[in-house]
Amino acid sequence: MHFSLNLTSAFYRLSFSALLGVVWGSVTAQNPPPAPASAIVLLRPAAVFDGEALHPGWAVLVEGDKIKAVGPAAQVGTPAGARTLELPGQTLLPGLIEGHSHLLLHPYNETSWNDQVLQESQALRVARATAHARATLLAGYTTARDLGTEGADYADVGLKQAIDQGFIPGPRLLVATRALVATGSYGPKLSVDVDVPQGAQEADGVDGIVRAVREQIGKGADIVKVYADYRWGKGEPSRPTFSQEELTLIVQTAKGAGRPVVAHASTPEGMRRAALAGVETIEHGDAGTTEVFKLMKQRGVALCPTVAAGDAISQYQGWKKGLGPEPERLQQKRLSVQAFRKSGGVLVVGGDVGVFRHGENSREAELLVQEYGYSALEVLQAQTSGNARVFHLPDRGRIQPGLLADLVAVEGDPTQQITALRQVRLVMKGGVSYPTDK
């Protein structure tokens, strides 16, 4: 039995590597590879947003994969042998950080979630994900939290390894692998007579939960994700799934292994239990109340509202944006985000991309500014230095000496006009420039 399992594992690794080789060959045939990192590069944009504030007339010096110096152009100077890159009319930002993505999914108006989980092979989903990773990077997102493979098992671990080893272009990934759900609470659900593969790992009770958390961590999870509430049946509202004791055990087990826990939660009770258990972020929070947001702030729990996902799904269901009445779910979301803002809680920016097209990650930032009352500066701070702080990434999210040279240049001033994030002119990850085809 042990011999058979080793053969299967070896075959999977060989198959996965072969698949990535084919995909990477296709990508490089259409697009040139990233430019090799020059020893020293001086970037001279119109302004630098350092993760906190805008600084007109600043320049950034990159040496190898790190930022060497930043400040007024005259003070930074041009060292001997440096290559100067002029970026007129552009703002240089820290590489953007996507707070909530699913690289193994593609838009639901192309293929339903059920059909992606049940009918698309893992090989097909991985091949798609390599394209999704490239689109994410070239949109200016040099880091992404990927919060669940949705039925693709541990494929996100291999995807992360392929990016880190340079086989395919993509952001630096923090992966959650399978995610945890209470038995019977998730999907897909077909006939009660048929057991079908689930979109996450079912676990219940002390022994089951501890085993599942440890298994995911052992397989490569950087993050443990739990669904604190969900729909038990078709057409039902979301309700809490795990007990308070179960959620607390998940957090304790993960923290013991140095992993944070994040919770999908949209109901006040699901959010309350998750916050008391000690999760670090709550995803969605659709029906969050003043009381639960106050508790989250007290407990140091951040919110990732994923407003772009609900907006996209409502349109898939027939809502004509700007023409018809706004769906009730979006009205509720607006009230929830308003209450969250008043609470003074910490915002995480992440759109649940995969529900909508990869590479359009900035839809979340745009909606937060245009429809949910945030300023462009607040969103930029959250999507760079803010996300980096919440995700425990002290080596990125700001432009300062010693940090990773993960940088993006956009046309115009995104601190005034958030849609400038769509006008990407340069992407640099670890000092390596990637062609943006612009």
pLDDT for 14: 39
Residue 239 makes CB contacts below 8 A (sequence gap 6+) with 229, 230, 231, 232, 267, 269, 270
Mean pLDDT for the chain overall: 92
pLDDT bin (cut points 50, 70, 90) of residue 10 is very low
Q: Residue 82 has which token pair?
A: 């440096």
Q: What was the pLDDT predicted at 360?
A: 98
What's the first-to-final CA gap in the chain, in angstroms? 54
| The pLDDT value given to residue 420 | 98
Cα 235–241–242 angle (5° rounding)?
175
Neighbours of 196 (CB within 10 A): 14
Residue 22 has pLDDT above 70, yes or no: no
10 or 205: which carries more pLDDT confidence? 205
CATH among 1.10.150.20, 2.40.160.10, 1.10.10.10, 2.30.40.10 for 40-93+400-434: 2.30.40.10
Residue 8: pLDDT over 70: no
What is the predicted pLDDT for the residue at 1? 39
Helix, strand or coil, per DSSP, at residue 260:
coil
The pairing of strands 172-175 and 141-146 is parallel
389-408: pLDDT as tens digits: 999 999 999 999 999 999 99
The one-letter amino acid at 379: V
The residue with tokens 């001086």 is 42
pLDDT, mean of residues 335-342: 98
Residue appearing with tokens 């109901």: 267
The pLDDT of residue 218 is 98
CB-CB contact of 223 with 176 (8 Å): yes
In the three-class reduction of DSSP (H, G, I as helix; E, B as strand; rest coil), residue 144 is classed as strand
Q: How does pLDDT run across 170-208, given as a tens digit for each residue? A: 999 999 999 999 999 999 988 888 889 899 999 999 999
Element of type H or E holding 132? helix 122-138
pLDDT score recorded for residue 193: 86
Note the pLDDT of residue 35. 53
Quick one: pLDDT at residue 120? Answer: 97
Q: The domain 96-390 is classified under which CATH number: 2.60.40.10, 3.40.190.10, 1.10.150.120, 3.20.20.140?
A: 3.20.20.140
**Residue whose C-alpha is closest to residue 377's, from 414, 410, 341:** 414
6/381: higher pLDDT: 381
Average pLDDT over residues 84-93: 98
Q: How far is CA 167 from the centre of its chain?
A: 21
- Report CA Rg, the chain: 22
Least confident stretch, 23-27, 44-48, 203-207: 23-27
Residue written as token pair 């980096």: 388
Q: What's the rounded mean pLDDT across residues 279-288?
A: 98
Residue 298: burial class (beta carbons within 10 Å; 0-12, 13-18, 19+): exposed
C-alpha count within 13 angstroms, C-beta hemisphere, residue 333: 21
Containing 68, the helix (H) or strand (E) segment is: strand 66-72
Report if pTM > 0.75: yes
Contact 271, 282 (CB under 8 A): yes
**Domain residues of the chain, as ranges?**
40-93+400-434, 96-390
Rounded CA-CA distance 253/216 in Å is 11
> What CA–CA distance (Å, rounded) separates 363 from 344?
23
Question: Residue 304's CB: how many other CB atoms inside 10 A?
Answer: 27
Residues 343-392 pLDDT 10s: 999 999 999 999 999 999 999 999 999 999 999 999 999 999 999 999 99
